[in-house]
Amino acid sequence: MRVPAEQRRRALLLLGAVLIVAWANGDLRFAGVSGWGSYTVRIINLCAINAVLAMSLNLLCGFTGQFSLGHAGFMALGAYTTALLTMEPATKKMVFFMTPQWGPLQNLLLPFLPALVLAGLVTGFFSLLVGVPALRLRGDYLGIATLGFAEIIRLILQNVRRVTNGALGLKGIPPVTNLWWTLGTATFTYFALRNLLASSYGRAFKSIRENETAAQAMGIDLFKHKLISFVVSSSLAGMGGGLLAALLTTIDPVMFKFPLTFQVLLTVVLGGMGSLSGSVLAAAIVTYLMEFLRVVEEPHYLSFMTIRGIPGLRTVIFSLALVVVVIWYPRGLMGDRELTVATVTGYLKKRWPGRRGAG
């Protein structure tokens, strides 16, 4: 049973966090100022979305040991679902100027929450269709099969012009994504996955990762559990895609090619395959670095000269980092340990002991 003091402390922390988010998001004024600057807020939004994407991929690759390269395909499904459900009919009419949109979709409009949830469900459904055949494969074969499926999904989205506007993409998606949505989804994802992984199902997943044959011999239905992991992972990716769509306000099929999966994969490897908090940390680091290094890629116009940007340098740095990490630090930042309040306070107590005696 929790001590009341402990509960009070948690409630206070939560209240504090909520207040900070409210201020950062511009909903609350403090000393006459509100909002953390739209640029910083955008970065935090991206961090949170990347955290959702990384945690979901980690569930499948890091915890269940199923190497899937199809994440971008599911992100695309979620993004398009959310976009099509939240775009105003008037905007849709404008955007679908080459091929008119398919009738029933033209006037369909939903508030953001149901749209996001539907994005997750639709993606989950399609991930079932993909998972049932694909999960019969193992190792690198599973990897390339899921890569193949992701490309097929993407190409279908690119070709069904009446539904998705094809290669022209969708513009004018309502910019609903804000700190509440992203941090909320990230927090939800973290706790939902943490619970799942701490439960018997989590042990089943890990046993499949450790030794499939033995897991099966101990009564674990391999296919069913791989599929559960796959569908949960993909549905979350779909929601991440939906949040991304409402953040960028513009999406097209080209966005969702393999390099997008690569970025999520690299985040997972960096953070540690098998650590949820590692994925969150790595998402923050990678997102921040991506933005920070963007400076290097863009041209800079000074009064007396123009410094040419070097496009592609970010990916050079990140792919080099990936190869280095995978060879020398395969456990990434956190390995399979988790960073929790308990571990942090425990560590701090060890470094600075003796203020209040033991414990």
173 burial type by CB count under 10 A (0-12 exposed, 13-18 middle, 19+ buried): buried
Binding mask 221-250 toward other proteins (x if CB under 8 A, else -) reads xx-----x----------------------
Q: Which residues contact 112 (CB under 8 A, 6 or more apart)?
A: 82, 86, 174, 176, 181, 246
Within residues 324-353, the interface with other proteins by CB under 8 A covers: 326-327, 330, 336
Nearer to other proteins by C-beta: 112 or 258?
Answer: 258
CB of 66 closer than 8 Å to CB of 230: yes
Calpha distance 248→258 (Å, rounded): 19
- Would strands 300-301 and 306-307 be described as parallel, antiparallel, or unpaired? antiparallel
CB of 181 closer than 8 Å to CB of 117: no
| Residue 178 zone, left/alpha/beta (φ > 0; ψ -120 to 50; rest) | beta
CB of 265 closer than 8 Å to CB of 69: yes
Q: Which of 17, 18, 129, 198 is in the footprint of other proteins by CB under 8 A? A: 198
SS3 346: helix
Nearer to other proteins by C-beta: 27 or 336?
Answer: 336
Q: Which of 141, 292, 329, 347 is in the footprint of other proteins by CB under 8 A? A: 141
Q: Which stretch binds other proteins (CB under 8 A): 43-51, 177-185, 200-208, 235-243?
A: 200-208
Within residues 289-318, the interface with other proteins by CB under 8 A covers: 310-313, 315-316, 318
Size of the site for other proteins (CB under 8 A): 67
* 15 lies in the binding site for other proteins (CB under 8 A): no
Span between the terminal Cα atoms of the chain, in Å: 17
State in angstroms the smallest separation of the CB of 313 from other proteins: 5
Residue in this structure with the two tokens 């410094």, named with its chain if needed: 307
Binding mask 256-285 toward other proteins (x if CB under 8 A, else -) reads --xx--x--xx--x----------------
**What DSSP string runs through 253-318?**
GGGGSHHHHHHHHHHHHHH-TT-HHHHHHHHHHHHHHHHHHHHHHS-EE-SS-EEPP-TTHHHHHH
* 140 lies in the binding site for other proteins (CB under 8 A): yes
Beta-ladder partners of 251? 170
SS3 33: strand
* 322 lies in the binding site for other proteins (CB under 8 A): yes
Nearer to other proteins by C-beta: 12 or 326?
Answer: 326
* 203 lies in the binding site for other proteins (CB under 8 A): yes
Nearer to other proteins by C-beta: 179 or 204?
Answer: 204
Binding mask 73-92 toward other proteins (x if CB under 8 A, else -) reads --------------------
Nearer to other proteins by C-beta: 106 or 216?
Answer: 216
Question: Quick one: tokens of 34?
Answer: 């509100």
Q: Which stretch binds other proteins (CB under 8 A): 21-29, 41-49, 108-116, 148-156?
A: 148-156
CB of 309 closer than 8 Å to CB of 300: yes
Nearer to other proteins by C-beta: 10 or 29?
Answer: 10
Chain positions contacting other proteins, by CB under 8 A: 61, 67, 133-134, 136-137, 139-141, 143-145, 147-149, 151-152, 155-156, 158-159, 192, 195-196, 198-204, 206-207, 210-211, 213-222, 228, 258-259, 262, 265-266, 269, 310-313, 315-316, 318-320, 322-323, 326-327, 330, 336
